[in-house]
Chain A
């Protein structure tokens, strides 16, 4: 079946530190991969996505590369800010299933000044 596993949180970093949040997936076929971000008290927003192997998604300084050989889609940012504090969700769309998304459990990031 299809599933997504993220590293557990919470993750606490100092401002300007390097961020990695690990995400691995299990899927049949050729899924699309996503990172969504949820700021406190809000709904989820798309952060970035990749639709095929070796694609790199990027937005707001965040990057993630679709690695089929390791079934991974790790999120990285070179220098985090306090405003990046949020919960980050990795998700996959397995395709041909009505657009359904399968989410990881979420990783809470807290950035301290």
Chain B
């Protein structure tokens, strides 16, 4: 059972480039989440999807878009990367309990 998977693990972008972070879960969970982790700030919610076909903004959505492609997959897109988006990005999913399961993370550097 893979749980939550994320690709890529590492990425370096130049300012203004775009990219999509991929996330998939195999636990049949309805809810999925994207967080960013920055030193001294814990994890902050970017976007979430309570069910297939719905997405909502979290605490720090500016500069990001998301797509809930199907029940398994939830992608995060940076249209025009900025150095302030240098961070570690985590995807998580949640089923009927209140426990979230996290992926291994994507470490993104924007130069």
What is the bound-complex CA distance between A45 and B40, given in angstroms? 19
In the complex with contacts A42-B104, A99-B31, A49-B98 CB distance below 8 A? yes
Cβ of A46 within 8 Å of any chain B Cβ, yes or no, is yes
**Are A89 and B48 within 8 A (Cβ)?**
no
Q: Report yes or no: B42 in contact with A98, Cβ–Cβ below 8 A.
A: no
Q: A42-B104, A49-B98 known; A101 and B50 CB under 8 Å?
A: no
- Taking a contact as CB atoms under 8 Å apart, the answer to whether B42 and A99 are in contact is no
User: Are B104 and A100 within 8 A (Cβ)?
Assistant: no
Interface SS majority for chain B: strand
Contacts of B42 in A (CB 8 A): 4, 89, 103-106
Residues of B close to A81: CB separation below 8 A: none
State how many angstroms separate the Cβ of A97 from the closest Cβ of chain B. Answer: 9
User: Within residues 87 to 111 of chain B, which ones have a CB less than 8 A from any CB in chain A?
Assistant: 90, 92, 94, 98-105
Per-position 1/0 for B17-59, Cβ under 8 A of A: 0000000000000010100000011111100101000001010
Tell me the residues in window 38-89 of chain A with beta carbons closer than 8 Å to chain B beta carbons. Answer: 42-46, 49, 51, 89
In whole angstroms, what is the CA distance A34 to B97 when docked?
13
Given contacts A98-B31, A99-B31, A100-B33, whether A44 and B50 have CB atoms under 8 Å apart is: no
A20 within 8 A of B: no
Given A49-B98, A98-B50, A101-B100 in contact, is the A43-B58 Cβ separation under 8 Å? no
CB of B40 within 8 A of CB of A99, answer: no
Question: What is A's interface to B at a CB cutoff of 8 Å?
Answer: 4, 32, 34, 36, 42-46, 49, 51, 89, 93, 98-101, 103-106
- For this complex, 14 residue pairs linking A to B, each with C-beta atoms less than 8 Å apart, are A32-B98, A34-B99, A43-B104, A44-B43, A44-B90, A89-B43, A93-B98, A98-B31, A98-B50, A99-B31, A99-B48, A99-B100, A100-B58, A101-B100
